[in-house]
Amino acid sequence: MVISAFAQSSDSENMKVWAKYDFVPGDKIIFEDNQQNEITGEFPSKWKLKRGGAETMRFADSSVIGFIAVSSEIEPLMKTAVFLPEIFTIEFDVYFHHKGNEGYSVIFDV
């Protein structure tokens, strides 16, 4: 799994919460990271940087992963290269600001 971003955001005032939540978790959690124990300004400890730049940031009173370089990519640190079962679900939160000059992509390279 690779997470990729073309831009970063630090504008929390325009954040809107999406209230509909219908995710049904599976029986086994394969990877989880809420950034609770991460140090602001440092690269998140449960991830590998593939290219670009990313660091732990504060956003709306939470620790988050922020992309600080164009075309940044990260992937979770896992014990084995093949870690996803044949059937799986993914849940994650993402915020994209709308300033008109950026592009985003989230790529799951499985």
Task: Quote the pLDDT of residue 56.
Answer: 95
Of 42, 55, 48, the closest CA to residue 73 belongs to 48
Domain around 84? 1-110
Q: Is the pTM of this model over 0.85?
A: no
Assess contact for 95 and 10: CB atoms under 8 A.
no
Task: Quote the pLDDT of residue 65.
Answer: 92
- Count of structural domains, the chain: 1
Task: Quote the pLDDT of residue 15.
Answer: 44
Q: Which residues of the chain have pLDDT under 50?
A: 2-15
Q: 10 Å Cβ neighbour count for 94?
A: 10
Q: Which helix (H) or strand (E) holds 98?
A: none
pLDDT digits (tens, 9 = 90+) for 91-103: 888 887 777 667 7
